[in-house]
Structure 1
Amino acid sequence: MPAGDSAANEAQRQLLLATAHEKAAADARRTAASYGLASATEQRTARALAPLAAAGYHLLADRQWPGSRRAQVDMVVIGPGGVFVVDTKAWAEVSIVGDRIHRGDADVTDELMALADLAYRTEGELAEVGLAPGEVHAVAVLAGRSGVDEHVGPVRVVGERDVLQLVARHGQRLSPTQVDVVLTRALSWFRQVGAPAPVSTTLPEPVLPAPSTAVVAIPAQRHAADDAPVAPPVPDDPGTFTIEPLLDDATVQAALLDGLMAAPVEDWMAFLHPAQARVVRRSFNGPSRIRGAAGTGKTVVGLHRAAYLARTRQGRVLVTTYIRTLPDVLRQLLTRLAPDVVDRVEFAGVHETAKRILDERGVQHRIDGRQITAAWTSAWGRVAGGSIIDTDRHEQDYWHDEVRYVIKGRGLTQWEQYADLPRLGRRHRLGPQQRRVVWDLYQAYDAELRVRGVHDFADQIALAEAELRRQPPAEPYTAVIVDEAQDLSCVMLRMLHALVGDAPDGLTLVGDGQQTIYPGGFTLAEAGVSVAGRGTVLDINYRNTAEILQFASMLVADDEFADIEGATARGDRPTQVPRRGPKPVYVRCANQADRARRMVTRVQEAVRQVGTGYGDVGVLSLSRRGVDDATAALTAAGVPVVNLEKYDGVPVDAVKVGTIKRAKGLEFKQVLVVDVRASWFTEKPEQLDEVDRERREYRLREMYVAMTRARDGLWVASV
């Protein structure tokens, strides 16, 4: 080796080593600056949220990101308004376009989507203790900003000075007990951070001095306009930003007061049984069904599922039902439950949906109630009057139901289809001659409608279903949720199925066969829908007291019905009924005047109870005449009344009076059933012929529906 070469090589090695040390030092300084800035901005976010502690919130700072060894969550806020997963971003030159967020020229949307994914997984974790999906919020806070309130996908992006108001505006969605339950689970999910940041160099890690309890101040510039500190630029950041002063005391107090004064949301809106919460989030690879006895929370779960699918899927969600007035009520409930997505959920009755389809496609159709009645009367007179089906045992309404629900409701077009039809749900057996007359009646009625240039409501559904078969929708719904699905006809279900097909989570049927109060049952197989392996049964009654449920269940104890899945069923029975209360009251009145007097007295007694107002009372009748009589008696006594035909779900301090059919899907603290006959409780089914037995079954199911609307008290009167 020539003289001096070894020294030269060592010199070169030392220079390379020095360069490596210098690079490592520079990297460490940049990392230190980033962590220092993060510490400063996260501390300011913490100070901005600190006043929430006085309103029952818990602030968990510097928690470990579940599933990661190194990543951490800046803050998790848990309190009356729900759960907020908060991440502070010290970003400058931020712009949001559509669903994308940019930091200068760099697209940083993926960073926020990681936060969204964490909130989604947290939602699933907390569902195990009953927190409803939608009560976990992903929030990105832009340090030093104010007046920012944007969305990037499911992530709410706000300024540092706006985050307090954001949380406070959620009001009271969880009770103190529920907050404690959620907090306990969250502490095990978000563990305390304790690991140091990784050192990104192959050099030996330096020996650090012992930790100091002193707070390291981050050097700050001064804003020209005030004494607020200005954050130093983030290393390699395209720009700088200024930090404004935090909120003054008056603004903080106003924000907290707004949250505290907000009306509490009902417990069921934000806190479910864990089994219910899991059903809301469960994914199915095709149409699914949620069933259970009255009071098990099917409608609640259906609403939560609509909100969940609206948050996690692209496109529109439809919530529909046979009952015309129920969609407006459900819309109001979802407005309170999930105001962030209510605009992405469409509420419409089945007939309203059919009408919209026909209008959009320019299909002419005309509904005229008087002409429909005239068409039926004319057809009956020409074909059925004095025939084998015109007997004292059946009124015309029975045969009108046969045509509307059994024939038209199934979409039958050929005599051979009807001749051999099982007629599920109809006990009265029809021989070949009777069926022939009914079919001729149907054809005559259909011809009379055409002569008058009108359609009936069954035609409206059939026309819409045919249109969807002819041309599937250009923009199908993401999901269709059907409440009270047992009330649909076969053609209705085919129409709704055509809106989504067999797409995963596309069609959800919610209902209870025990509450079927319309004739003309059918099976899902007839409609071309399968829910095999995709059914869920809810079995805990949350609405009724054990006393109310026991009383109501006596009416349907021996009831058998043809379930839409094809089996003969006897009704689901809840495994638990946790609530107890007073026994239902049954009174036998001397006459109608006596019944009216007792009804008014009962309403007045009910509203004297603590926590019960006029709006918490429902007076239900099997007939429109009973509704009119009850309305007149209550109005004469000075009691405010609203007819369920006009009730849209907006809270009103008035007794709700309506038919039992209009009350389906609703609940009341106190229910009065006012037009029952005493003989209905005493007649023996084995002593009745098949005609009266069928009538009795539908009547008792209807009364069962009415009684199970009651949460706390039930009063039944007969004459």
Structure 2
Amino acid sequence: MDFLIADTFTDALARLPAQEQKAVKMSAFDLQLDPSSPGLSFHRIDRSKDPNFWSVRVNLDIRIVVHKTEASLLLAYVDHHDRAYAWAERRRIETHPRTGAVQIVEVRERVEEISHALPAVEEPASPPTSTPLIFAGLTTDDLLSVGIPEDWIADARTATEDSFFALAPHLPAEAAEALLEFAATGILKKPTATQPADPFIHPDAQRRFRFVENQAELAAALDAPWDKWAVFLHPSQRTMVERSFSGPARVAGSAGTGKTVVALHRAARLAAGETDSRLLLTTFSRPLAASLERKLRVLAGPESGVVPRITVAPLREVASELFQLALGRKPHVVADDALRALLVRAAGTTASPAFVLSEWQHVVDAWQIDSLEAYAGVPRLGRRNRLGARQRERLWPVFEKVRASLSERGLTTWPAILAKVAGHHTAQTEKPFSHIIVDEAQDLGVPELRFLAAVAPSGGDALFFAGDSGQRIFQQPFSWRSLGIDVRGRSLTLSVNYRTSHQIRTAADRLLPTTVRDVDGVEEERRGTVSVFEGPIPAIELADGEEQEVARVATFIREAIAAGIVMSEIGVFVRSPAEMPRARRLIAAGDLRAYELSEQGEDAAGRLALGTMHQAKGLEFKAVVVMACDDEVLPLASRIQGVADEVELEDVYETERHLLYVACTRARDRLLVTGVQPGSEFLKDLATSRS
């Protein structure tokens, strides 16, 4: 007999107190070991429309709802007696006649008994002409093809833009997502018809049901039921996790679509499939790497042999360690301020400091140019200044002086470290890693990509990237293909947003173009992205002064806590360290407890998080405040003053928009964006719908 768990069971389990969860888990283990044990008390739920629903007693009041057939036993739900029975009486589990996927279907007439949000279907009234039927052009066959249960067809036909979000939670996930995407784009994506021998292995069934082979798997699934991503995958995610690629591959998508989930599952799958694998899971920051490592341990389980095969570390830490192994010494990296001073001093009156700094960062150091001849032939993609031979001859001595000064002091730069390691491993047949997976890959630069290409083996499944071009905040665009990393034909954009409410996502999306296209022509379409839940409209407010702003933010946080959001689920972000004092004043004014995000990766421990927008990358919170969004803070005035040409100015504006987008999309349910009058020019876009 197959043993399965449903996402509705893990969701319900997570809502119970710890002691009740423990009792439920013990009963679940007993059910898996021997469902026919005399100690288990099964009772048929007579009022249910599904004859296969039974209850199993956990204690005096807690009941597990199971779906029992000759072939399978499914843990479907758990709650106190009356609520557990009510859940089962309003549902049935069946195979959809068109798609072939097993679904948990709400019984339409039973839903009417408990909700007045939905219209009656016996005599559907025509709504006013001012509220058009958004699915009026779809046929019954169209609606069935995307998995809508037959008894919900009439509701879909009469749905308006206002009523659809009341309808969507009652539909199976694949049906709600298909209709959401149709409402957003006008395109109904019909899945490929498939009728598997076992309807539980249909891709859409696997997003809500999981086969459990043994007690260790069940323990891993139940130990952290709130981490739904660790158990259930969307079909588009599963495709990228399980597919073998002939070369480098990339998963893209807007914030909250599950790119990191794909990266984690793919890492675990590759490591589990090869006992001698040496897999690197890497990203940019220490806090994000620490978060990845925690999630990997949840996914793999405490007793898994997978985790030791995976190195989880920030990219620069990996490069530093490989540098020491290859050259036998520790690199000493020049501080940013010291490097800037060297460049300005060496430049003198040859060129403006802004241009020299930019040319060093984006051309000379990035490409590790070591001669005038190499400087003459380096690609200048994205640089408006087309330097002639004489201009390069005049500039090259400046960069030679800087290189000599660094060498005399025993100092180096991160691009130089990456280049040294890449040069060493390019000639080696034995590579340090068998597979490399990169999260937040949109911020990889030329040195990082060269490094990754050198330390990864050739062949399929060696390199996998997860990233969103709309969140690029560090690097100027350049061609990956020119460096030998070509993801064309091996790139997929995810479009279902699980983390961010519809209201927050649509507001944040106004900061970005609807389509993002990289230098190699790989396109990310953002218009089809849909969120699977609703929430409050984001608040965007400008204060007359800093103290008024701080008071408003303190009120927002107290309201969030009163609504049941714990402090560790709240994040407060500012543009740069210069604005952090204002955020710290908030803590004192609101009598709050907080910790500041840092490279050390502190534990939240019941405190809210304070940090810069850069530190927000990859994190998520139920409530987020983005404060100090003032004029000349966003975009940052010092960045604008330091640009070398018009193209760089455009890039500064673009990456500053991306920063605000990143900060806003850390929020799941509640978002407050504040500043002091007149405020950042970007706030108008955030608050105004596109025409």
TM-score (norm 2): 0.64
Equivalent residue number for residue 490 of structure 2: 534
Q: C-alpha separation between the residues in 2 aligned to 1:701 and 1:293?
A: 11
Q: How far off its partner does 1:373 sit?
A: 3.6
1:48-447 correspondence runs (5 A): 51=40, 53-54=56-57, 56=64, 58=66, 63=71, 125=201, 127-131=203-207, 136-139=211-214, 166=216, 169-170=219-220, 172=222, 262-314=223-275, 315-339=277-301, 340=304, 341-370=306-335, 373-382=337-346, 384-390=347-353, 394=354, 399-419=356-376, 421=378, 423-425=380-382, 439-447=396-404
CA contact (8 A) 1:379 1:448 kept: no
Q: How far off its partner does 1:344 sit?
A: 2.6
Q: Is the partner of 1:605 in helix, strand or coil?
A: helix
Equivalent residue number for residue 552 of structure 2: 598
Equivalent residue number for residue 457 of structure 2: 501
CA contact (8 A) 2:444 2:475 kept: no
Q: How far off its partner does 1:481 sit?
A: 0.6
CA contact (8 A) 2:541 2:674 kept: yes
Count of aligned residue pairs for this structure pair: 498
**CA deviation string 1:414-450 (max 9, x = no partner):** 4444445554455676666665565444332222110
Q: How far off its partner does 1:585 sit?
A: 0.9
CA contact (8 A) 2:571 2:625 kept: yes
Q: How far off its partner does 1:298 sit?
A: 0.8
Equivalent residue number for residue 463 of structure 1: 420
Q: Is the partner of 1:711 in helix, strand or coil?
A: strand
CA contact (8 A) 1:673 1:717 kept: yes
In structure 2, relative to structure 1, the CA distance for the partners of 1:708 and 1:408 (3 Å cut) is same
CA contact (8 A) 1:461 1:492 kept: yes
Q: Which amino acid aligns with 1:366?
A: P
Which consecutive residues of structure 2, in runs of 5 or more, have no partner in the other structure? 1-30, 42-55, 59-63, 79-196, 677-691
CA contact (8 A) 2:334 2:412 kept: no
Q: Is the partner of 1:672 in helix, strand or coil?
A: strand
CA contact (8 A) 2:220 2:298 kept: no
Q: C-alpha separation between the residues in 2 aligned to 1:427 and 1:515?
A: 23
Residue number among 610, 620, 623 corresponding to 1:657 in the alignment: 610
Greater displacement, 641-650 / 701-710: 641-650
**CA deviation string 1:209-231 (max 9, x = no partner):** xxxxxxxxxxxxxxxxxxxxxxx
CA contact (8 A) 1:376 1:445 kept: no
Q: C-alpha separation between the residues in 2 aligned to 1:463 and 1:124?
A: 51
Q: How far off its partner does 1:498 sit?
A: 2.5
In structure 2, relative to structure 1, the CA distance for the partners of 1:578 and 1:426 (3 Å cut) is farther
CA contact (8 A) 1:367 1:457 kept: no
Q: Which amino acid aligns with 1:292?
A: G
Q: Which amino acid aligns with 2:233?
A: L
In structure 2, relative to structure 1, the CA distance for the partners of 1:636 and 1:427 (3 Å cut) is farther
Q: Is the partner of 2:497 in helix, strand or coil?
A: coil
**CA deviation string 1:546-589 (max 9, x = no partner):** 2212221222238966x25x138686333423322221111112
Q: C-alpha separation between the residues in 2 aligned to 1:347 and 1:643?
A: 22
CA contact (8 A) 1:401 1:519 kept: no
CA contact (8 A) 1:410 1:490 kept: yes
1:21-32 correspondence runs (5 A): none
CA contact (8 A) 1:128 1:277 kept: no
Q: Is the partner of 1:514 in helix, strand or coil?
A: helix
Q: How far off its partner does 1:319 sit?
A: 0.6
Q: Does 1:710 align with 2:667?
A: yes
Q: C-alpha separation between the residues in 1 aligned to 2:339 and 2:603?
A: 38
Q: Which amino acid aligns with 1:529?
A: I
The percent of aligned pairs where both chains have the same amino acid is: 29
**CA deviation string 1:595-617 (max 9, x = no partner):** 2222222222222213x111111
Q: Is the partner of 1:675 in helix, strand or coil?
A: coil
Q: Is the partner of 1:593 in helix, strand or coil?
A: helix
Larger radius of gyration: 1
CA contact (8 A) 1:365 1:454 kept: no
Q: Is the partner of 1:698 in helix, strand or coil?
A: helix
Q: Does 1:473 align with 2:430?
A: yes
Q: C-alpha separation between the residues in 2 aligned to 1:548 and 1:378?
A: 44
Residue number among 410, 415, 423 corresponding to 1:453 in the alignment: 410
**CA deviation string 1:632-651 (max 9, x = no partner):** 43145321112121574855
Q: Which amino acid aligns with 2:236?
A: A
CA contact (8 A) 1:635 1:641 kept: no
CA contact (8 A) 2:334 2:411 kept: no
Q: C-alpha separation between the residues in 2 aligned to 1:468 and 1:171?
A: 40
Q: C-alpha separation between the residues in 2 aligned to 1:473 and 1:123?
A: 44
Q: Which amino acid aligns with 1:661?
A: H
CA contact (8 A) 2:635 2:653 kept: no
Q: Is the partner of 1:529 in helix, strand or coil?
A: coil
Q: C-alpha separation between the residues in 2 aligned to 1:503 and 1:702?
A: 35
Q: Is the partner of 1:169 in helix, strand or coil?
A: helix
Which consecutive residues of structure 1, in runs of 5 or more, have no partner in the other structure? 1-41, 64-74, 82-120, 140-162, 173-261
CA contact (8 A) 1:473 1:499 kept: no
Equivalent residue number for residue 447 of structure 2: 491
Q: Is the partner of 2:505 in helix, strand or coil?
A: helix
CA contact (8 A) 2:253 2:524 kept: no
CA contact (8 A) 1:265 1:336 kept: no
Q: How far off its partner does 1:675 sit?
A: 2.2
CA contact (8 A) 1:617 1:656 kept: yes
Q: C-alpha separation between the residues in 1 aligned to 2:543 and 2:472?
A: 29
Q: C-alpha separation between the residues in 1 aligned to 2:243 and 2:655?
A: 34
Q: Is the partner of 2:511 in helix, strand or coil?
A: helix
CA contact (8 A) 1:319 1:346 kept: yes
**CA deviation string 1:26-56 (max 9, x = no partner):** xxxxxxxxxxxxxxxx998455697595463
Q: Is the partner of 1:556 in helix, strand or coil?
A: coil
Q: C-alpha separation between the residues in 2 aligned to 1:570 and 1:275?
A: 15
Q: How far off its partner does 1:406 sit?
A: 3.3
Q: Is the partner of 2:618 in helix, strand or coil?
A: coil
Equivalent residue number for residue 6 of structure 1: none
Residue number among 538, 555, 562 corresponding to 1:608 in the alignment: 562
